[in-house]
Amino acid sequence: MILKGVKVTLRPVRLDDAPRFVKWFNDPEVNKFLFYRSLTLSQERKIIREKLQKQTKQSTHFCIDTKSGVHIGVTSFDSIRERNKNATWGIVIGDKRYWSQGYGTEAMSLMFEYGFKKLKLHRIEFDVYRYNKRAIGLYKKLGCKIEGIKREHNFWNGKYWDTYQMGILDKEWKG
């Protein structure tokens, strides 16, 4: 499946995307926002193979490409729970040249539209580190709410930080 917006196209993940993922996940400016802190190329290829094999109703992963075809990030739904119509969402714009230009906003909007309209989700949830103020501001602007706090859940830059649990319901999505 491919999802198209004005600035980005969301396409299936391929094994040849692995070197870019490794570059991003090993970059301290990028990985401070991620649960992964570093990966080798062989580890990332193994993860991609596993995700491609498991890509079912419980999980879906998309690469984020610019309209000109530059691969800049990844977004996904994991733990799609059919009975409760819930899913866990994640995103990273790994190519820093594309930060703060609306690419992540559009990718998020495409994913939420896909989740609420096509997958018929009732709720989308995700975690975000407290120091990721730019992302938190965007998520709130798009209707997401802070639902809980995991106190001192993340260790970064010599300090423990809270992790916010955020979510949005289908009726709160502004599209």
**pLDDT, tens digit, 9 for 90 and up, residues 134-157:** 999 999 999 999 999 999 999 988
Instruction: Label the pairing between strands 8-12 and 60-66.
Output: antiparallel
Q: Contact at 8 Å (CB) between 5 and 106?
A: yes
Angle between helices 103-113 and 133-141 (to 10 degrees): 50
pLDDT of residue 56: 63
Query: What mean pLDDT is reported for the chain?
Result: 90
**What domains are there in the chain, each with its CATH number?**
3-172 (3.40.630.30)
pTM, two decimals, is: 0.90
